[in-house]
Structure 1
Amino acid sequence: MYRDTYIAPEAAAEGQEREMMMRLSTQHMRANVSGRAIAGALMAALPIGAAAQDAVTAPPPATQQSDDAVPADLPTTDIVVTGTRLGSSFNAPTPVTSIGAERLDALGITNVGEALNQLPSFRASSGPAAQANLGGNIGARLLDLRGLDPQRTLVLVDGKRFVPSTVQGSVDTNLIPSSLLRTVDVVTGGASAAYGSDAVAGVVNFILDRKKEGLDGEFAAGMSQRGDDGNLFASLSGGMRLSDRVHIIGAVEYEKLEGLGTCTSRSWCNSQTLILGNTPGAGGLPANLIIAGVNTSTMTPGGLINRSYNAAGQAIGTTATDPLRGTKFLPDGTPGQFQYGTLVGPLFMLGGEGQGRNGFISALRLKVPLERVSSYGALTAELTDDVTLTADISYGRVKGTVDGAIFRDFNGTLLGRIKRDNPFIPAAVASAMDANGAASFILGKAAFDLGPGRATSTTETYRGVLGVEGRLSDRWTVNGFYQYGRTNFTQRATNLVNQANLLKAVDAVQSGGQTVCRVNADAISSNDDPSCVPFNPFGEGQYSQASVGYITGNGLQHTVNEQHVAGIDLRGELFDLPAGPVTVAVGAEYRRDTVDGTADPISAANGFYSLNGSALSGGVTVKEVFGEIAVPLLRDSAFGYALDLNGAVRRTHYSTTGSVTTWKAGLVYEPVEGVRLRGTRSRDIRAPNIFELFGPQTLRSIGLSDPLNGGLQTNPFVITGSNPNLSVEKADSWTGGFVIAPRSGPFQRLRLSVDYYNIKVADAIGALGAQTLVNRCAQGATNFCSQITRDANNQILQVRDVILNSNALKTSGYDIEFQYRQPIGSWGELNAQLIANITKELTTVDALGAVDRAGQTGVRTGTIPGVPDYVLDGVLTWTVGKFQLTGHGRYIPSGIYWTNFVGPDQDGYAVTAPNSVDNNNVPSRFYLDMTARVNVDTGNGRTFQLFATVNNLLDRDPPAMPGPSGGTNQILFDPVGRAFKVGARFHFGS
């Protein structure tokens, strides 16, 4: 019907299975069923799915035809096997999870990246809800398999690399249309020997329905219960035969997301739950409190005097006795008395004034607006009986907008000390300065009146592929292709605070009866700036527009990624063994990736307070040769039903880091019918990408705690960026598991797979996170201390969080998939499916030791995120007649907020310790979504479907915990609440 219609009958599949397994060969099996019907039939009947897709995923689209024969007049297609180059005759030992387009339809999901990030084996680390105040590829949906970061997950389309969308080499799945998908295969194990660099965590292969017939369309719209998060989606896709030998397909999609407002739009975020520092043990409280009602203690929107100084530059009195401290400025610029709360620290306090105007979170968007267009076209032409030509062309555009951080300064780093002769100082404050011998003071300000900087990024990706497949004989085929891809990225930013100009504009004096910038009134001519216009920092909006024009500016970044790929491979059967043919594949590939970028001069010097663009130029050339072999040892013997061995090797030369070898060895053993064992051992690699090698260094300001100063909270600048001396990271991976899929008897509708994985990455490339660097330095890892700059008072001014080969990464765990289909007579049919991931460890190892982030479901700014101990994802579909009702449940167990904190319920807790916290627990969450679908058949090959979806049916708020994007880990937990979507789909044609 729409994207997946038919499911092959169990009985027919059982009767044909043995013959099918013996006949599958590298000559591309042609069967008289559609590609999706093949996938459905094999996933329903074979113990490892479509000859390699081992674990069944999305519940089959049960229809009234589920017990009938599949029509014989549907177009033919090839079986695509992911995880191997050997073709459809080989049972790959690497676990492969497959989700079909039916899952998207059943759950009312219009973006395949969103569907994939729901799977438990992925760490949801990017998307419209994770952008916070950062620029770059705004709203990009990147795939982060195993929590090892997106750059370690290789993304393919029909077995070929998709052109990178980011300078880090990652692929934004927004650019791949969902409406042409037949299935998406996720290889949950190392696959570098088969596909090359970046497949450390695994491979995601988007397989298109290249034999699609007819015309399909979809329209959907929705919004949250609170009237925001509006979304609109429309797609049109189709395919047709131009002749007996030529077939074309095409699709175009449009999606618009309005996003969410600021932190004040949701009570869980507006509660201002943050980390509040405390003197360890003071008042019987730990060093850190995660508590609601935290306001800023040294910044207000109108300005707040924090410390005053005499003419010698010395602080007057103590913090408690400073005569000017606590003088705030009302919106009109007049002075008033600031209302402090309790537990007052250098950044935050509990209670007091400022609710709803906390410069660290109040202005952050909880979800950025996004607009995307994606299109794809493909042609398949059988030039002769033995030669087939394929041509693909695609275009995608993603446009997103983000608000940068509100300008904040609490210690005079950016505004400088306000001197007594500044004419903007109100008379009452000037008199108090004179009475107390104050020559200057520090003004703390969160400039809500200036508003945030705003960046709009546009990512356009073009890709073309030309391929030729030739059959050399009944046993050998050769394939060659050339691919060109280009990504144009442009970021335009406005209202950015120019730090150098701000410092000059705030330092104003009276000269010749006029208020001017000091640099133009002093005796030094070399520092003159004729364009400088004095800026009044007191109050809100008390400045002139000319001064705003001087202290703010616009940023621009333009980056072009280009990729050329060419490859050839030869596949065939060497000779026959009693158990079947020995198959091999050998080939070579060439790839050239280049990045060329420019940025405005101020951004290039990190001169803006936020959203600095970056210039980047560099290139990498890759040359590879590879080989793979499969040896069938047993078929129907006394020692087992089947035994296959597999090996692969790849030699790769990088123009930047030299040569490296990857390999894989695996086996599949079926001791009895319906029970299959499998295992792999592999060496995988990831070479540093262009951004990591040649990228710029960028600057931003974040809040940190300083353990060397008793947990003192501070707001330093953090430099992130590249390192040209990086080397290749190497991973040792192995997987082992079993699949149970009885072909007859009372459990023939049951499918179960369990796989263990273990990945160890040496010389891992990445940034540790600024807070992690500060903590590890304090704990004794002195090699990290050199990355931290402090002032004369030992306060942190700057942290260099640049990319290093400093880590080792280790992760291990279990993937579990279960499916059961049960007819219930006149009541229809139930399809149940459960996917689970159990993470035993996700460990980063550095010079000081190991940090295991398995079970960390909170995320603190400037730190590496973790993953839950386990995630359960279940789908239950009830089909009766033309009606389908699907429930989707996702459970995230309770976890810890941060691995560096120790709470009262954890071993090693001491209230006087600097890492003590009152509560290090993040509550569990269960989310329930419901989708109802009604199918309408009007005859003449025209079918319609109406659907309605309620997401987060129970309206569960996320846990109110501190996070980099507001008040929670809002990429793991749902920030929207209950939301609704309605839509319609149609199919015209055969």
Structure 2
Amino acid sequence: MKLRIRPLAAAVHCSLLFALPGLAAAQDAPARSTPTTLDSVQVTGTRIKKAEMEGQVPVHALTREDIERSGLTSIGDVLQELTGSGSALNTRFNSSGNFGFSPNGDGVGAGSAQVDLRHLGPKRVLVLVDGVRWVNESSASGVGAATDLNTIPLAIVERIEVLEDGASSLYGSDAIAGVVNIITRRAFDGGQVTLNYGEYGEGDGTTQGVDLAWGYTTDRSSLFLGASHTDQDPVYSRTREQASFPTPGTGLTFGSSGTPNGRFIFIAPTPSTACPLTDHDDNPATPPVAFCNITTPNGSSFPNGVSYPDDFIGFTTANRFNFAQYNLLVTPSRRTGVFGQFRFDLSDGLQWYAKALANRRESVNQAAPEPIFLGPDAGTGNPLADNIFISRLNPYNPFGFDLDSADNLIMIGRRPVEGGARVFEQEVDTRYLATGLSGSFADARWFWDVNAAWSENEAEQTNYGSYNIYNIALALGDPAACAAVAGCVPLNIFGGPGTITAPMLAWIQPVVRDRSKNRLMLASANLSGDLFELPAGALAFAAGYEYRKYEGSYSPDPLTVRGHYNGVPSLPTSGEYDVNEVFVELDVPILADSAFGQKLNLNLAGRYSDYSTFGGEFTPKYGLRWQVTDEFLLRTTFAEGFRAPAIGELFGSAARADLQISDPCSIGLGGTPPRGSASNCAALGVPTGYQQANSQISVTTGGNPDLEPERSRSFSAGFVWSPGFASGASWSDRLDFEVTFYRHDLEGAIQAIDAQTQLDLCVATLEAQYCDGITRASTGGINGFNNRLVNLGYIKTDGWDVDLSWALPETAAGRFRIAWQNTFVTRYEAVGAGGTRQPRAPGIEVNDSAIPEWTSTATLDWRQGNWNASWSLRHVDELSEDCGDAVAFPVCSDPATGTNTLAATTYHDVQLGYRFGWMKGLQLTAGLNNVFDEDPPICLSCSLNGYDPSTYDIPGGRFWYLRADLKF
């Protein structure tokens, strides 16, 4: 690959442009890393062990003190409070039962906690532990492509370094949006016991835990052992008024038509008061029919049989079901982990280490009792439900005639509350073993290490409260056929709540178990040091080799594989691949102690990756670090990156969905001509005069073994300024500013094309990328539709990080420190198939996620003797969303434009602590988050509970906590 001179020249030019504005705008900026004199160190964002490499790239470091100040007990929750974080799964996502089986094969990640940087998605963030890759999650419903941070106990963490810059050249795939490097506790003498307890002001959502740590350090060895247990209780939607409806402020309008009393839509042989003559298809060529859209009154029950039409009424909004009463705002989670690492100096300059971790997460999601939808308009994706036949001989059928999907039945929706809520229990086990050697030679000017690691994440999900659609179909059909099968009893879906008996439930309600596994094995070797001296200093060098093997599998319950599961159908997935990689990094000193500044260095890096699935990929990175003075540092980087398709994306087996799709080659119901080009339709085999018989088309989704990697380009430029006049002054001990501009361009994003869009583009272009997988019968009708993952579209985003850190001198009033981090997103563009612009953008809330134009966190820290305290502010800028069908409700703030405003939200957190001189120290801490009881703004477009659980504090309300930390 040719050296890209133009981006490098642009980077140099940008650095020069930043110098004067940076000095002038210092009052608006902050700093995370500043030039210091250190021994040789390894920092995230470079493989070279050298003190001067610190500050080469923007790295945000969270110390253990920062973590403890948050009052949080999950790494995922801590990272989601970073201003550069986007929307990601956490324990506030009550996901199971509400999200379908995704085409990328990763499942729903129920109970996990992920991290998203720059709003590019969790699968584009690389998670390391002590600089080594961590295994991806297995969600029990698929093979994940992101890391579950709940697999790493917070108690073993010394600090977290977050690189918000593309780094594929240094670390390989997945580092498009950045890198999270979790550094474990190592040098530790003595023991430590930490107890914590917290709950919401309403008395629920209790979180409690205990952390144990013990270690010793000698001249030649060190040992650290840690154990952690955290127990988080649920918070139910029904306990919070704003979350107790399907969409806050709209009552039952957006409730479900699958109700305990049932909804019955069919064509009757004769009209009645409940089923008047209706021109239901708007086709003048067909006469009106007796059209039924009926139910029984709310709460009514007919254990002795319901009478048609006397006991039925027309179905209206008032008859819809409030499923939110069963949802969770905070999902329960129990996490237990043990960790140990041992290091031993075999000789001067040679050290051996070994690490081991075992972690279990037990979590629960809950959804409303599972609805049973039957008939061609049910859209379940299961032919047993869509093609249902309900016999007139069924003893509970009140209508006296067959209900046949091929003739008169349109849809039935019945929610058996007798079967209880859907409960999804996850058990996730993570195991990790690692060992290696490290050393130095040539008077500790050269460093090397070799490493091997094995890690596995295995999950099982048990689902209570779902149904067997095969058994349902048998129980609704001919009673004689049912009687011939052991255990089958006729099913009553007509009589209202309480009429589905225990024997009926025993026949139709199974326990469903799904399993998945992700495994990562790797070996690596690295070397770094100074090659030779140049006029401006030593040419620093790092190189290495890494081998990785990935294995993953998903095994749905046999009931699901057979197609008998009432929920979303899916098939097993399994696959593996390996990769061999080599990298090299050079730090070239260009100038030193000259008229142009103290030091100017050029950083060059490149990595070649050879994948068994798609071949080779080379990613370069270029950087400049210009130490203008002791006080002022300029830096810039340009990098190319990639993300290799994950196992689920490559090998995910077909899942099916029955979708409403309008064929552009079909005559309209009113006789209107086809929308599509006549010549193109003819080329696809569609005859003149073809009319689509059924707009509900079965679409299969799943992995694609021919996927190419996603490719990206990342650019950053900025400065760090530590003004001398603010160092050691009467009003300031140290003042640091840091400003960084970032830009990420991603091409070939892996996603499935919207099925309707795919069909429209196929007819419009006849291109194979859209038409492959769509087949038609001789009549012209679509008889096959394969909607697999492809590389399409692009994402472009840019913005600014502006940070400040100010340490004040110690006075009689104590020592104060202020830290202020800000992220401004100035652009986010996502374009899908055919150039279709996606709705995500700065300042917009859509699809349960948001991209605020400005997020900010400010902390005032105080210490005086044995006392310490902090006050933190977390700010989310105003957002807007499309009101959709809720435009007619007062909760839609601007019905004229059809948009709703989510007001700017600021949370205040306080903490107070005191340290006793007992043993090695007893620290007692009390804290209160969301001091002013700020509720999250109502979100009309959010699918669960009417809130965005990844942008705001859910469930709202104050959360208080206590912590005791004893060292001995």
What TM-score, normalized by structure 1, do the two folds share?
A: 0.79
Hey, what's the Cα distance between the residues in 1 that align with 2:744 and 2:961? Answer: 42
1:251 aligns with 2:222: no
Counterpart of 2:909 (choices 924, 929, 935) is 929
Hey, what's the Cα distance between the residues in 2 that align with 1:634 and 1:224? Answer: 57
What residue number does 2:795 align with? 809
Hey, what's the Cα distance between the residues in 2 that align with 1:880 and 1:910? Answer: 50
The aligned amino acid for 1:973 is Y
1:741 aligns with 2:727: no
Contact 1:298/1:410 (CA < 8 Å) preserved in 2?
Answer: no
Change (3 A) 1:826 1:82: same
The aligned amino acid for 2:294 is G
Contact 1:310/1:316 (CA < 8 Å) preserved in 2?
Answer: no
The aligned amino acid for 1:130 is F
What residue number does 1:979 align with? 958
What residue number does 1:59 align with? none
1:322-354 CA-to-partner distances (Å, cap 9, x unmatched) read 46433426542346454765xxxxxxx4xx344
Counterpart of 2:898 (choices 918, 923, 948) is 918
- The residue matched to 2:503 in structure 1 has which SS? helix
What residue number does 2:597 align with? 640
What residue number does 2:417 align with? 448
Hey, what's the Cα distance between the residues in 2 that align with 1:468 and 1:891? Answer: 45
Hey, what's the Cα distance between the residues in 2 that align with 1:231 and 1:717? Answer: 45
- The residue matched to 1:382 in structure 2 has which SS? strand
Contact 1:418/1:443 (CA < 8 Å) preserved in 2?
Answer: no
Hey, what's the Cα distance between the residues in 2 that align with 1:671 and 1:238? Answer: 45
1:754 aligns with 2:739: yes
The aligned amino acid for 1:984 is R
1:151 aligns with 2:110: no
1:886 aligns with 2:862: no
Change (3 A) 1:385 1:941: same
The aligned amino acid for 1:921 is T
What residue number does 2:427 align with? 458
What residue number does 2:293 align with? 325
1:379 aligns with 2:342: yes
Hey, what's the Cα distance between the residues in 1 that align with 2:607 and 2:953? Answer: 42
Hey, what's the Cα distance between the residues in 1 that align with 2:169 and 2:876? Answer: 34
Counterpart of 1:534 (choices 486, 490, 493) is 490
- The residue matched to 1:550 in structure 2 has which SS? helix
TM-superposed CA distance for 1:536, in Å, is 0.4
TM-superposed CA distance for 1:125, in Å, is 1.4
Change (3 A) 1:176 1:717: farther
What residue number does 2:476 align with? 506
1:407 aligns with 2:407: no
What residue number does 1:269 align with? 243
TM-superposed CA distance for 1:850, in Å, is 2.8
1:249-304 CA-to-partner distances (Å, cap 9, x unmatched) read 1211111111222x333221224327xxxxxxxxxxxxxxx945415484431112
1:722 aligns with 2:703: yes
Change (3 A) 1:496 1:777: farther
Counterpart of 2:835 (choices 848, 851, 864) is 848
Change (3 A) 1:239 1:622: same
Hey, what's the Cα distance between the residues in 1 that align with 2:401 and 2:640? Answer: 73
Aligned-residue identity in percent: 25
TM-superposed CA distance for 1:895, in Å, is 1.6
1:227 aligns with 2:208: no
What residue number does 2:463 align with? 493
TM-superposed CA distance for 1:721, in Å, is 2.9
What residue number does 2:186 align with? 210
Hey, what's the Cα distance between the residues in 2 that align with 1:145 and 1:954? Answer: 28
Change (3 A) 1:640 1:903: farther
The aligned amino acid for 1:248 is L
Contact 1:780/1:848 (CA < 8 Å) preserved in 2?
Answer: no
Hey, what's the Cα distance between the residues in 1 that align with 2:430 and 2:81? Answer: 25
- The residue matched to 1:484 in structure 2 has which SS? strand
1:209-243 CA-to-partner distances (Å, cap 9, x unmatched) read 321222222111122122221211211113212x3
Hey, what's the Cα distance between the residues in 2 that align with 1:568 and 1:943? Answer: 42
TM-superposed CA distance for 1:753, in Å, is 0.9
1:621-676 CA-to-partner distances (Å, cap 9, x unmatched) read 10011100001223332111221110001111000010110110001112233111
Unaligned stretches of 5+ residues in structure 2? 1-29, 98-106, 281-287, 379-384, 671-694
Hey, what's the Cα distance between the residues in 2 that align with 1:557 and 1:441? Answer: 32
1:858-888 CA-to-partner distances (Å, cap 9, x unmatched) read 3337xxx442122112222233332222222
Counterpart of 1:663 (choices 620, 640, 643) is 620
What residue number does 1:835 align with? 821
TM-superposed CA distance for 1:51, in Å, is 7.5
Change (3 A) 1:695 1:78: farther
The aligned amino acid for 1:730 is R
The aligned amino acid for 2:441 is L
The aligned amino acid for 1:835 is Q
Deviates more, 1:960-969 or 1:479-488: 960-969
Counterpart of 2:505 (choices 548, 553, 557) is 548
- The residue matched to 1:897 in structure 2 has which SS? strand
1:82 aligns with 2:44: yes
Change (3 A) 1:970 1:780: farther
RMSD: 4.0
Hey, what's the Cα distance between the residues in 1 that align with 2:633 and 2:490? Answer: 76
What residue number does 1:873 align with? 857
How do 1:21-32 residues align onto structure 2 when only pairs under 5 Å count?
none
1:181 aligns with 2:162: no
What TM-score, normalized by structure 2, do the two folds share?
A: 0.80
1:194 aligns with 2:175: no
What residue number does 2:935 align with? 956
TM-superposed CA distance for 1:680, in Å, is 0.5
TM-superposed CA distance for 1:774, in Å, is 9.9
TM-superposed CA distance for 1:768, in Å, is 5.8
Counterpart of 1:484 (choices 448, 454, 457) is 454
- The residue matched to 1:533 in structure 2 has which SS? coil
Change (3 A) 1:80 1:797: farther
Change (3 A) 1:421 1:679: same
Hey, what's the Cα distance between the residues in 2 that align with 1:936 and 1:559? Answer: 48
1:832-857 CA-to-partner distances (Å, cap 9, x unmatched) read 21211111222222213333522355
What residue number does 2:690 align with? none
- The residue matched to 1:858 in structure 2 has which SS? strand
Change (3 A) 1:986 1:970: closer
TM-superposed CA distance for 1:535, in Å, is 0.8
Change (3 A) 1:450 1:688: same
Contact 2:883/2:940 (CA < 8 Å) preserved in 1?
Answer: no
Counterpart of 1:471 (choices 431, 437, 440) is 440
Counterpart of 2:555 (choices 580, 583, 598) is 598
Change (3 A) 1:159 1:869: same
The aligned amino acid for 2:219 is D
The count of corresponding residues between Structure 1 and Structure 2 is 855
Counterpart of 2:645 (choices 688, 703, 719) is 688
Unaligned stretches of 5+ residues in structure 1? 1-43, 53-76, 275-289, 342-348, 510-515, 522-527
TM-superposed CA distance for 1:562, in Å, is 2.1
Change (3 A) 1:565 1:696: same
The aligned amino acid for 2:160 is V
TM-superposed CA distance for 1:370, in Å, is 0.9
What residue number does 2:263 align with? 304
Change (3 A) 1:231 1:988: closer
The aligned amino acid for 2:880 is I
The aligned amino acid for 2:899 is N
What residue number does 1:5 align with? none
What residue number does 1:11 align with? none
Change (3 A) 1:388 1:295: closer
TM-superposed CA distance for 1:85, in Å, is 0.5
Hey, what's the Cα distance between the residues in 1 that align with 2:711 and 2:431? Answer: 31
What residue number does 2:15 align with? none
Change (3 A) 1:546 1:773: farther
Contact 2:358/2:429 (CA < 8 Å) preserved in 1?
Answer: yes
What residue number does 1:58 align with? none
TM-superposed CA distance for 1:143, in Å, is 1.2
